[in-house]
Amino acid sequence: MLQRVNAFIENQDFCHGQVMWPPLSALQVKLAEPGRSCKQVCQEEQLICEPSFFQHLNKDKDLARFGVDCQTVESSADTVVPAYSETRHHCIFQSDLLLFSCAGAHQSLRRICPCRDYMKGQLLELKHSCSQPEHPSTFRFTSGRRYESRKWGKRGQRGTKETRTPLPDTRPAPPPSTPTPPSTSPPAQI
């Protein structure tokens, strides 16, 4: 959690518009073989597919920077694009930005996949954004600041046997209940 807060704080820039997280510098483009999803391709490379990067791979000039030669292009509202046909040098781009997906696979097209690295156990953190902890309860960030957490156990998990203690109940006690006497109203007259 401290790593996420630190990354968020250090990457804030109120002067130059919106800051993208994860940063575009983390993008690693992979071409999937036909029949393979971006999720599979990224995982095989010890990476994860980052859906927010698809928008940066959805134009022919974007793909040219990564060595993909689009001689012809078209748009499609399909979950398996952006994709590329190697035999025809044909690129298919997403027409509906809400349909970008890491999961789909196409039997004849190669998917263009936006992958990024991550720290094991923390999919929101990039490997190159923070250094590994020196000690399980100590974190040193790239800024050089050092933080300690005394609530973390040996394996970086909260609530180990050494640190788990029940919290005292600080709620006020309910008022003592007193039995209500039976009603003494006069009998009803007929």
Q: pLDDT digit string (tens) for 54-79?
A: 999 999 999 999 899 999 999 999 99
Do 112 and 34 touch, CB atoms closer than 8 A? Answer: no
State pTM to two decimals: 0.57
Whether residue 81 has pLDDT greater than 90: yes
Tell me how crowded residue 178 is: count the other CB atoms within 10 A of its CB: 6
Q: Which residue matches tokens 């929101």? A: 124
Whether residue 190 has pLDDT greater than 80: no
pLDDT tens digits, one per residue of 148-175: 334 444 444 444 444 444 455 555 666 6
Do 106 and 80 touch, CB atoms closer than 8 A? Answer: yes
Query: What is d(CA 77, CA 99) in angstroms, rounded to the nearest whole number?
Result: 7
Q: Which residue matches tokens 């391709």? A: 41
* Per-residue pLDDT at 10: 77
